[in-house]
Amino acid sequence: MREIGHFIGGKQVKGTSGRAGDVFNPNTGEVQAKVALAKHSEVEHAIALAETAQPAWAAVNPQRRARVLMKFLDLMQKEFDTLARLLSSEHGKTFADSKGDIQRGLEVVEFACGIPHLLKGEFTAGAGPNIDLFSLRQPLGVVAGITPFNFPAMIPMWKFAPALACGNAFILKPSERDPSVPMRLAELLVEAGLPAGVLNVVNGDKEAVDTLLTDPRIQAVGFVGSSAIAEYVYATAAANGKRAQCFGGAKNQMIIMPDADMDQAVDALIGAGYGSAGERCMAVSVAVPVGRKTADVLLEKLVPRVESLKIGPSTDAQADFGPLITRAHLDKVKSYVDLGIKEGAKLLVDGRNFKMQGYENGNFMGGCLFDHVTPDMRIYKEEIFGPVLAVVRAKDYEEAVRLPSEHEYGNGVAIFTRDGDAARDFINRVEVGMVGVNFAIPVPLSYYTFGGWKRSGFGDLNQHGPDSVRFYTRTKTVTARWPSGVKEGAEFVIPTMK
C-alpha cells in the first residue's frame, strides 16, 4: 500500500505518529493509499524549520522570489496532465474538471508573480519640516494554510503563492482525503528554487490543525472548509493572537427572471448545479424562478436535462460528473434527499439508486431535482454538497432578492435576466459576496478577490487579489526627520501639523 508522509525541510518524510488515514479511490471505493496523520511534535518540527528558513527568504528581493514562482509555473505546465490525472484519482472529479482546478490555482500563482508591484510602500517627501513619511509592507513570518478536499490543487495555490511572494514561510495542512497533489506541488516548488523549509506540508487532522492554531510562532492562518470548522478555526486562531481568514460553506442561489434566456439559464444551471457532483463551494444548489410561468417553463426544460446527465468514472472523458469523495459523504447526500421527501418537497428526478456498471462499489449517484422547496426546510437551509438541486418558487422579484439575502450563507449568487435595471438593483441590494449576472459561477479572476459573506466567510480580508497582499503582510509606517535645519527645542505637546 502506498504511504503518504509529510513534506518537511525540502523533502518527503515518513510520518512517525503511528496514525494514518485512508485515501480512497472514489471510482471503486477501494483504499488506494494511507496518509500519515501528524502528531503535535511533527508539526512543531515543521514550524521550527520554517521559522529558521523564513528570514533568509524574506531577504531575497521580491523579484527573485517571484522568479521562483515563474519557474514553478513552467514546471507545472510540463506536469499538467499527470497532476490532473492524480487529482481525479483521489477526488473523483473528471479529468477536464481537474485541469480546471489546477488552472484556477496557477492563475493565482501568475498574479503572485506580479506581487512586487503591490509590495511597494507609500512615500511622502516633506510631510512636515524636514520630515519624510513612508510605509513598508513586511512579511508576517510563518503562516499556515488549512485546505479542503474539493479543490486540492487550486486552494493550496491560492494560499501559498501570495504568502511566499510576500516573503513568508508557509505550513500547508491539506485535506487528508486527497493529499497527493499538494505534496507534489511542494516538491515542484523546491525544484523551482524555493529554499528547503520555506514551505512544508504536514498531513493530518484535528491534532495537526490545533497545533497550528495554538503555536505562537504561527502568525496567520488561512482556512477553507465547512462553516462549523471555519468558525472554530477563526475563533481559536484569534484567541491565540493570530490573524485569520476562514472561508466556509455555501448555499448559492440562481434567480431566473421571467425575461431570462431560458435555454441559457438551463445550460448554466445544469453545469453549475451538477458539475463536480455539486462538490463546489460555488455550486448552484438552489434555483429561484420568479413567477409561476417562469418556474413551469424552466422545469419543463430542466427535468429531461437532469434525467440525461452522464455520470461516469473520473477517467471517462464523456462524463458530466464522477463519483463523490467518499462512501460516507455519498450516504450523507442521499440522506438529505430522503429528508427532502419527508419535509414535503417534490422529488422530480431521483438519482439515489443510480449504479455505475463495472464500478458497483464506487461512490456514484445520479442527479436529483426537487421542486416546491421552501425556506423552512433543512434541504434549503443546509449545504448538501452533492448533485442535488432545489427549486424554490418566488412569487415576485422582491422575494427573489430576499431569499439569498436572508440565507445564513452568502458565498455566491446569480441572476439571469435581460433587464439591466433589475440586474443593477440586484447587484446593489443582495447580501452575498460574489454576484453573477447571466453567469452562474461568479468566481472572480485572480487579480480580484474571492470571499463570501455571513457564514461563508469569517475575517475581514478576502483570498487572492490585493487583499492577499494585505493579509500576508503587515504595514510599518516610518516618520523620519534629518537633523539639518531642525531648530525646535524640547516639545511637550503632541506633534501636530498646525
Cell digits of residue 46:
515543521
Q: Which stretch binds ligand NAD (CB under 6 A): 109-117, 146-154, 182-190, 472-480?
A: 146-154
CB-closest chain residue to ligand NAD? 225
Strands 388-391 and 368-371: parallel
302 membership: H or E segment, kind and range: helix 292-307
| DSSP per residue, 91-144 | H---HHHHHHHHHHHHHHHHHHHTHHHHT---EEEEEETTEEEEEEEEE-SEEE
C-alpha–C-alpha distance, residues 58 and 167, integer Å = 4
Q: Considering beta carbons, is residue 26 or 148 the nearer one to ligand NAD?
A: 148
- 26 touches ligand NAD by CB under 6 A: no
Instruction: Provide the minimum distance between the beta carbon of 50 and ligand NAD in the complex, in angstroms, as a whole number.
Output: 18
Candidate list 148, 197, 278, 362; residue touching ligand NAD; CB under 6 A:
148
Q: Considering beta carbons, is residue 417 or 456 the nearer one to ligand NAD?
A: 456
From 113, 166, 246, 281, active-site residue: 281
Candidate list 10, 21, 162, 249; residue touching ligand NAD; CB under 6 A:
249
Closest CA to 283 of 402, 155, 368, 389: 389
- 250 touches ligand NAD by CB under 6 A: yes
Q: How many CB atoms lie within 10 A of CB 482?
A: 9
Burial 91-129 (b: 16+ CB within 10 A, else e): bbbbbebbbbbbebbbbbbebbbebbebbeeeeeeeeee
Q: What angle do CA 67, 151, 40 make, to 5 degrees?
A: 85
Instruction: Provide the minimum distance between the beta carbon of 55 and ligand NAD in the complex, in angstroms, as a whole number.
Output: 28
CA dihedral angle for residue 53, residue 180, residue 3, residue 215, rounded to 10 degrees: 40
- 21 touches ligand NAD by CB under 6 A: no
HSE on the CB side for 194, CA within 13 Å? Answer: 33
Binders of ligand NAD among 255-274, rule CB under 6 A? none
Instruction: Provide the minimum distance between the beta carbon of 206 and ligand NAD in the complex, in angstroms, as a whole number.
Output: 4
- What is the DSSP code (8-state) at residue 194? P
Q: Considering beta carbons, is residue 107 or 371 the nearer one to ligand NAD?
A: 107
The rounded radius of gyration (Å) of the Cα atoms in the chain is 25
Candidate list 25, 276, 285, 456; residue touching ligand NAD; CB under 6 A:
456
The crossing angle, in degrees rounded to 10, of helices 227-239 and 206-214 is 30
x/- string (CB under 6 A) for ligand NAD, residues 216-235?
A: --------xxx--x------
- 312 touches ligand NAD by CB under 6 A: no
Cell digits of residue 204:
493530518
Q: Considering beta carbons, is residue 189 or 209 the nearer one to ligand NAD?
A: 209
C-alpha–C-alpha distance, residues 411 and 280, integer Å = 11
Residue 172 in contact with residue 199, Cβ under 8 Å? yes
Q: How many CB atoms lie within 10 A of CB 235?
A: 14
Q: Which stretch binds ligand NAD (CB under 6 A): 54-62, 171-179, 188-196, 298-306?
A: 171-179
Binders of ligand NAD among 360-389, rule CB under 6 A? 383, 385
Torsion sign (Cα): 230, 231, 237, 238? positive
Q: Which stretch binds ligand NAD (CB under 6 A): 13-21, 86-94, 170-178, 369-377?
A: 170-178
- 281 touches ligand NAD by CB under 6 A: yes
Q: Which stretch binds ligand NAD (CB under 6 A): 142-150, 335-343, 386-394, 438-446?
A: 142-150
C-alpha–C-alpha distance, residues 215 and 427, integer Å = 41
Torsion sign (Cα): 279, 36, 102, 447? positive
Q: How many residues bind ligand NAD (CB under 6 A)?
A: 26
- 459 touches ligand NAD by CB under 6 A: no
- 160 touches ligand NAD by CB under 6 A: no
Binders of ligand NAD among 178-217, rule CB under 6 A? 205-206, 209
Instruction: Provide the minimum distance between the beta carbon of 329 and ligand NAD in the complex, in angstroms, as a whole number.
Output: 8
Q: Considering beta carbons, is residue 168 or 456 the nearer one to ligand NAD?
A: 456
Residue 281 appears among annotated catalytic residues = yes
Instruction: Provide the minimum distance between the beta carbon of 33 and ligand NAD in the complex, in angstroms, as a whole number.
Output: 16
- 90 touches ligand NAD by CB under 6 A: no
C-alpha–C-alpha distance, residues 132 and 106, integer Å = 39
Candidate list 24, 247, 380, 426; residue touching ligand NAD; CB under 6 A:
247
Q: How many CB atoms lie within 10 A of CB 74?
A: 11
Instruction: Provide the minimum distance between the beta carbon of 451 and ligand NAD in the complex, in angstroms, as a whole number.
Output: 7
Q: Considering beta carbons, is residue 168 or 411 the nearer one to ligand NAD?
A: 411
| DSSP per residue, 414-429 | EEE-S-HHHHHHHHHH
Instruction: Provide the minimum distance between the beta carbon of 39 and ligand NAD in the complex, in angstroms, as a whole number.
Output: 15
Instruction: Provide the minimum distance between the beta carbon of 154 and ligand NAD in the complex, in angstroms, as a whole number.
Output: 9
Positions touching ligand NAD (CB under 6 A) are: 146-151, 173, 175-176, 205-206, 209, 224-226, 229, 247-250, 281, 383, 385, 411, 452, 456
What is the set of active-site residues? Answer: 281
